[in-house]
Structure 1
Amino acid sequence: MDAATQTMIANLEKNTGKSLDEWVTIVKKENFQKHGEILKFLKSDHGFTHGFANLVAHKTLKSDAGSASDTDELITKQYKGKEHFLPLFEKLKKEISAFGKDVEFAPKNAYVSVRRKKQFALLIPATKTRYEVGVNLKGEEPSGVLEIDTKSNGMVSHRIMIVNPEEQYWRETIDWLKKAYDAAG
């Protein structure tokens, strides 16, 4: 388990008086099947911030890299029916890895979180026809392929939508990712 997750788990208990295991038990009693249901429950009924709610949801559903027994299985699940986007994912992963030795890829059920000291990007095979790259660049004005993100509940500030990997603005996408990486240091 990475240091950031360990810190969040410690802070969860410090802030709420309950351990992660206790919160997982509480959530499991509600019989939620979806991540969003858990987020809503924890935020509205228990006053959680998004980060803590997200942590408990992932641990409850075992949908994060730290809970999964095989992170490759999470990737396989993400790209089922969207296999044509796998080469794009591999190409993005290779380019991002070249930014520095401190890049970490953490697969979840629906996306891959890309972190340095903190998360700076998300790689998301959103639909069969659209791939999304989320980046954290708070305060950055949208420009070119970079749009304000309105869908990820604050997990990233901006997104780049890729509908045709061969014709997309590759260099601009990589430049935005590098800028987000630099900002996360």
Structure 2
Amino acid sequence: MEQAEKTMIDNLYKNTGKTLEQWVAVVREQNLARHGEVIKFLKEEHNFTHGFANLVAHKAKGSDAGSVENKDDLIAKQYKGKEHFLPVYETLIAEVQRFGNDVEVAPKNAYISLRRKKQFAILQPATKTRFEVGLNLKGQEPSGILEPITKANAMCSHKINLNGLNDISPEVLEWLRTAYNQAG
């Protein structure tokens, strides 16, 4: 288990008086089918922040990298029917890993989380025609290809939409580097 997740699990207990396992049991008793339903339940009924709700939802659904034996299975699932975006993913991962040896690549069910001390980006084949790079750039004014994410409690503040490998420009890489630098 990575240190950031361990700290979050410890803080969950400190903040709520219940362990992660106890919260997973509470969630499973609700028989909620979707990840978003679990998050909504925890936020509305138990006053969770988005981060803690997301952690418990992933653990309850077994949809995080720590809950699967083979992390490559999560990646394969993401790209099923969207295989044409694998070169985009592979190119972006290779570029980001050049930023420093502290980049953590954490596959989830629907996206890849990129972290240092905190998450700085996500990589996601959002649709069959759009690959999304989500970035944590709080306070940054959108410009150029950088679009704001207006959804409340979103895991990222901005996004860049790509249609293919040719859309990976120096500007995309510079925004990724900026997010990486801010997360250190």
* Same fold (TM > 0.5): yes
The CA distance in 1 between the partners of 2:151 and 2:63, in whole Å, is: 19
* Alignment check: 8 A CA contact 1:160 1:173 kept: yes
CA offsets, 1:2-59, max 9 Å, x none? 1110011011011111100000001001111210000000000110000000000000
8 Å contact 1:113–1:121 — kept in the other structure? yes
Structure-1-length-normalised TM-score: 0.97
Matched with 1:84 is: 84
Shift of 1:69: 1.1
Aligned to 2:5: 5
**Secondary structure in 2 matching 1:113:** strand
1:109–1:133 CA distance, 2 compared to 1 (3 A): same
Residue number in structure 2 paired with 1:178: 177
**Superposition CA RMSD, Å:** 1.0
For 2:66, what is the secondary structure of its paired residue? coil
Deviations 1:82-134 (A, max 9, x none): 00000100000000000000001000000000001110000010000000000
Name the structure 1 match of 2:143: 143
Give the residue type in structure 2 aligned to 1:123: L
- Aligned partners of 1:162, 1:15: CA distance in 2, in Å? 39
Post-superposition Cα deviations, 1:157-185, rounded to whole Å, max 9, x if no partner, equal 1000112332x251100000001101111
Does structure 1 retain, via aligned residues, the 8 Å contact 2:38–2:57?
A: yes
Percent of aligned positions with the same letter in both sequences?
Answer: 61
Tell me the secondary structure at the aligned position of residue 89 of structure 1.
helix
Q: Distance in 2 between matches of 1:78 and 1:33?
A: 19
Q: Which amino acid aligns with 2:92?
A: L
**Is contact 1:145-1:169 (8 Å) kept?**
no
- What SS does the aligned partner of 2:86 have? helix
User: Alignment partner of 1:66: what SS?
Assistant: helix
Hey, what does 2:107 align to over in structure 1?
A: 107
8 Å Cα contact 1:148-1:157 kept in structure 2: yes
Name the CA distance, whole Å, in 1 between partners of 2:22 and 2:97. Answer: 36
Query: Superposition pairs for residues 38-49 of structure 1, below 5 Å?
Result: 38-49=38-49
Alignment length, in residue pairs?
A: 184
Q: Which residue of 1 aligns with 2:28?
A: 28
Cα contact 2:146–2:159 (8 A) shared by 1 = yes
| Unaligned 5+ runs, structure 1 | none
Separation in 2, partners of 1:38, 1:169: 35
C-alpha contact 1:105 1:115 (8 A) present in aligned 2: yes
Partner of 2:70: 70
**Separation (CA, whole Å) in 2 of partners of 1:104 and 1:33:** 29
Q: Distance in 1 between matches of 2:69 and 2:36?
A: 23
